[in-house]
Amino acid sequence: MLRKSADYIKSLKGKNPIVCLTAYTAPIARAIDDKVDLMLVGDSLGMVLYEYENTLQVTLEQMIDHAKSVVGASKNSCVIVDMPFGTYEDSINKAFLNVARVMKETNCNGVKLEGGQKMSNTIQHLCKSSIPVMGHIGLQPQSVLIDGGYKVRGKEKSEWQKYIDDAIAVEEAGAFSVVLEGMAEPLAAEITSILNIPTIGIGASPKCDGQILVTEDMLGLTNVAPKFVKKYIDLDKIIKSAVCQFSDDVKNRNFPSADHIYHMHPKIVSGNNKNS
């Protein structure tokens, strides 16, 4: 089966809900590859894997290294890589060079960048240069220091037009889809009904064309998960229980058992070795 493309994801608008999750590492990518349509190598990896306070410290090199493992360990889903803070905002040319590096070095299917109207010229240039781009509007984690922090957007109707204009700008610039993050539900539903490209919600609306979560959040591997996260399993608890059993086995000398050790070749054991 061929890997799903950004065009294929775009074609799902109005058809099937689009299933998306983040993947930062090979084991997670391998586990979820044939169950999701799209895997995002999100810059949330800075907070989830590296314990950074926000996503601003994440580097292009980190994104490239993680994206290489995710692409290498998967073959079905569309892999999109987040452009980290500081690699695309400054100039269209710099954005193109950094995005081209990500595409060349990782063999991913496209990139995601944050920003609506203010990023539309960049998105347009990238799309015209044959690079599939996913937009990201609403709560933009790379702007939390200046933009009201992690607060939900569009709770007042007076705020709506800005976000609707952002969404339209991203679509008109040529993006194949757009993430709507941290938005009042009716605003996300309204944007979804206006756009011709799929909206992917996170803390948004069940009416979005697809949904995305941080995989570690839904698996119960992160300390604090926001209200919009549904925890499907408590892997932290399961890991702790497995490690407890391992610890008991080691302390009681029950591990390694005969099944887990290397035995001598039978000839050597039976004393046929001349030098023995």
Which residues are at the interface with ligand KIV (CB under 6 A)?
Answer: 22, 40, 42-44, 82, 136, 179, 181, 202, 212, 214
C-alpha dihedral over 66, 181, 193, 39, to 10 degrees?
Answer: 20
Nearer to ligand KIV, 5 or 54 (CB): 54
Sign of the C-alpha dihedral computed for residues 214, 220, 223 and 226 taken in this order: positive
Which residue in the shown chain puts its C-beta closest to ligand KIV? 42
Nearer to ligand KIV, 22 or 192 (CB): 22
Question: 111 with 64: CB under 8 angstroms?
Answer: no
Return the structure tokens found at 19: 């299933």
Question: 267 with 273: CB under 8 angstroms?
Answer: yes
Question: 198 with 12: CB under 8 angstroms?
Answer: yes
Integer angstrom CA distances of residue 65 from 40, 61, 177, 215: 14, 6, 24, 18
Nearer to ligand KIV, 12 or 213 (CB): 213
Sign of the C-alpha dihedral computed for residues 113, 111, 176 and 69 taken in this order: negative
* The one catalytic residue among 171, 181, 190, 216: 181
Task: Tell me, yes or no, if 172 is annotated catalytic.
Answer: no
Closest contact distance (angstroms) between CB of 252 and ligand KIV is 42
d(CA 239, CA 120): 44
Return the structure tokens found at 247: 């610890």
Q: Which residues contact 190 (CB under 8 A, 6 or more apart)?
A: 160, 164
Closest contact distance (angstroms) between CB of 262 and ligand KIV is 42
Nearer to ligand KIV, 37 or 82 (CB): 82
Nearer to ligand KIV, 147 or 249 (CB): 147
Give 73's Cβ-side CA count (13 Å radius).
19
Question: 66 with 24: CB under 8 angstroms?
Answer: yes
Nearer to ligand KIV, 111 or 131 (CB): 111
Question: 208 with 192: CB under 8 angstroms?
Answer: yes
Catalytic amino acids? 181
